[in-house]
Amino acid sequence: MSKQAQATAASGSARSRISSKQLRETFDAYSMLLPTILGVVIFFAIPLGISLYLSFTNARIFGDTKIVGFDNYVKALTDASFWIALRNTFVFSVFTLILSTVPALIVAILLNEKLFGRSFFRMLFFIPVVASVVGVSLLWRYLLNLDFGLINYGIKLLGFEPIPWLTRPEWGLASVILIFTWKTIGYNMVIFLAGLQGVPRQLYEAASLDGASRWKQFLNITLPLLSPTTFFVLVTTLINCLQIFDVPIALGITRSGTVGPADSMLTVVPLLYREAFLNTRMGYASAIAWILFVIIMAISFVQFRVSDRWVNYE
Amino acid sequence: MIGQILQRPWEKALAYLFLIVSGLIMVFPFIFMIASSLKTSSEVVQVPPTLFPSVLQLGNYIEVVQIVPLGTQLMNTVIVTALVVLGWIVTSVLAAYAFARLEFPGRDLLFGAYLGTLMVPFAVLIVPMYRIMLLFGWVDQLVALIVPWLFTAYGTFLLRQFFMSIPKDLEEAALMDGASRWGVLFRIFLPLARPAMATLATFGFLYAWNSFLWPLIIISNPSKKVITQGLVDLQSLYAVRVDLIMAGSTLAVLPTLIIFLLAQRYFIEGIATSGLAGR
């Protein structure tokens, strides 16, 4: 046998060994992924497709389903409740976004300092995050009560009129913002802390050798290097806000289906729930879901595009 | 002190004042909730409010599980939570190992698609999911609260990151000695992954224990409901009995607080990791 033929034979058998090894590995991989793939197909991909289809039909829980084109989407745009829900969702999101990130950043900066008992404080801020949303909503329902709630007792002690947090339309959404903010600050604080700990110490050392003041260091090193974290916190908080459900329902749903006095706590997902399961308009509810989905996709897309330009990576 | 903002004593004093006041705002409501759950029905609505109960009403806890089947619902919540956490760990460990270490066609595409599912709001899926449960005959069954929730893209991502950080030497030596991929996963990766699995378990626990929207849709039989639903029922049926509502809320909140205090580190690590995903 010539040298060349030997080499070819050797590489040929090596190739078949590799390919049988690869086959084995592919088989193992797909066996490991089987439960996940089954789960995602049955409980995610198929429902996602059905949802899009339903949004173009007049589906209810039972009975005939007819395709109605874009009727549900047109209906949403002319439905007063939908606009109320959309407006409430945006007002809620804007306030919560500011109120839950700025204090979270301040607390994170303080707790990044070498203070005695800082892990204890971190724990305190995190407690509302883990507690059941429904449980804390009922707790706050009690604290915010007009006649005997602790908050209004404090307000009266300070000499002001008690606030009808849960009984007047103009305060309904404020109560939801208050509770959700209180529950989210600790979560955002932890992410900011992780970001702060990622700022390399050498940068501060170099800056102090150059004589930069503490505040200069904070403004010129800490804040810019924290921008990816800040951006992430803003976007995830916004996306969570747009999907809020538990607080308005636990705080404000009534037997007639209104959410808060005069629907003042009605946001998009509670509206969707009401249309689908109390009014059994499943086609219409699906259209509302897809409008929300498109809004969230647009935000994610902007996040993806902007994070390259606006955010300062190390 | 390099990189520290607070240096003068008065700055530190101010920081402490701020932290103590805001820390109290975070934690005092829970203390007040537990205290109120032990007051009489008249003391709890008394003005001015009392801080601690004048007479301990431990009976509130007995009464609340009698008027609403909160005991059964607590049990349902425990069963659902335990199985969901177990499912999260099993499916995520398997998928994460395959994504982190195995070479196979379609790997990056599948992983990307799986992460992509995180972008879809759950609200889009509830109507079709309800219809699928109807088809399966799972409406009003605990299985509907378990089986669809055994998978988690977040958990797979978390464990994959962890598996990728494990050095390859050990694994390669074992494979050379003829160990299978499954053997490597169970004998090398699983023991090393305990902290990451603990993080995942704490998240699964929070997610399942506190879930509300899906049970509200799929379960209407009071003996199949979970604790969050029981609380809402309690509020709508016995709105005047604030003492009982606080006892119910305490039953729902206390287990998460206890588990949090025991496993703090894992909760915080889990969130910090998800935060790093944004980088």
Alpha helix ranges (H) inside chain A: 3-40, 46-54, 71-78, 80-111, 118-130, 133-143, 150-157, 169-197, 201-209, 214-217, 223-225, 227-242, 246-252, 268-273, 282-309
Looking at the structure, tell me whether residues A43 and A82 fall in a common domain.
no
How far apart CA B244 and CA A148 sit, in angstroms, is 16
Q: Is the pLDDT of residue A18 over 80?
A: no
Token pair 């190992």 is found at: B97
Tokens of B222: 């009071």
Q: In this complex, which of A35, A201, A285 lies closest to B94 when CB atoms are compared? A: A35
User: Looking at the partner chain, which of B104, B125, B212 has a beta carbon nearest the beta carbon of A47?
Assistant: B125
Yes or no, beta carbons of B253 and A44 under 8 Å apart: no
Are residues A36 and A183 located together in one domain of the fold? no
Are A141 and A280 within one domain? yes
Per the prediction, chain B carries an average pLDDT of 92
Rounded to whole angstroms, how far apart are CA atoms A264 and A176?
10
* Contacting residues of B for A233, CB less than 8 Å apart: 275
Residues of B in contact with A29 (CB under 8 A): 98, 102, 104, 107
In a domain, A66, yes or no: no
Give the three-state DSSP class for B179. Answer: coil
Phi, psi of A67 (to 5 degrees): -80, 130
- Chain A, 73 to 112: residues with Cβ < 8 Å from chain B are 103, 106-107, 109-111
Please compute the mean of the pLDDT values over residues A264-290 and round it to a whole number: 97
How many alpha carbons lie under 13 Å from residue B10 in its C-beta half-sphere? Answer: 0
Q: Has residue A11 got a pLDDT over 60?
A: no
Number of domains in chain A: 2
| Token pair listed for B247 | 């006892």
Domain of residue A98, CATH code: 1.10.3720.10
Q: In sequence order, which residues have a C-beta less than 8 Å from that of residue B163 and are 6 or more positions away?
A: B96, B97, B100, B101, B189, B193
Q: Evaluate whether residue A63 is within a structural domain.
A: no
Segments forming the whole domain that contains residue A46: 1-54
Q: Token pair for residue A205?
A: 């050392």
Q: Report if residue A103 sits inside a domain.
A: yes
- Nearest-CA neighbor of A272 among A299, A298, A301, A293? A293
CA angle, B230 as apex, B131 and B151 as ends, to 5°?
45
d(CA A56, CA A48): 13
Instruction: Based on the fold, state whether residues A23 and A159 are members of the same structural domain.
Output: no
More confident residue, A307 or B70: B70
> How would residue A209 be classed by pLDDT, with cut points 50, 70 and 90?
confident
Cβ of B151 within 8 Å of Cβ of A35? The answer is yes
Per the domain annotation, does A208 fall within a domain? yes
Contacting residues of B for A115, CB less than 8 Å apart: 6, 12, 15-16, 19
pLDDT digits (tens, 9 = 90+) for B244-261: 999 999 999 999 999 999
Chain CA centroid to CA A152, Å:
31
Q: What would the mean pLDDT of B26-32 be, rounded to a whole number?
A: 97
Min CA distance, A1 vs chain B (Å)?
31
Of residues A304 and B197, the one with the higher pLDDT is B197
Tell me whether residues B268 and A126 touch, CB distance under 8 A: yes
Say what the ipTM of the complex is.
0.92
Shared domain for A144 and A278, answered yes or no, is yes
B7, B26, B30, B258: best mutation site toward chain A, by most A Cβ within 10 Å? B26
Residues A11 and A133 in one domain: no
Architecture of domain B60-276: Orthogonal Bundle (1.10)
* Same domain flag for A254 and A213: yes
Q: Does residue A295 lie in a domain region?
A: yes
Residue A154 domain flag: yes
Same domain (yes/no): A255, A207: yes
Could you tell me what percent of chain A has a pLDDT over 90?
Answer: 70
**A92: its two tokens:** 């809620």
Distance, in Å, from the CA atom of A270 to the CA atom of A58, rounded to the nearest integer, reads 20
- Contact at CB, A132 and B278, closer than 8 angstroms: no
Average pLDDT over residues A126-148: 95
**A199 shares its domain with A106:** yes
Residue at A62 is within a domain: no
The domain segmentation of chain B, as residue ranges, is: 9-58, 60-276
Q: Closest to A135 (Cβ–Cβ): which among B105, B213, B249?
A: B249
Same domain, A39 and A188: no
pLDDT tens readout for residues B131-181: 999 999 999 999 999 999 999 999 999 999 899 988 888 888 999 888 899
Contact A243 B180 (CB under 8 A): no
Please tell me whether residues A13 and A75 are part of one structural domain: no
How far apart CA A72 and CA A60 sit, in angstroms, is 13
Residue with tokens 């088989």: A27
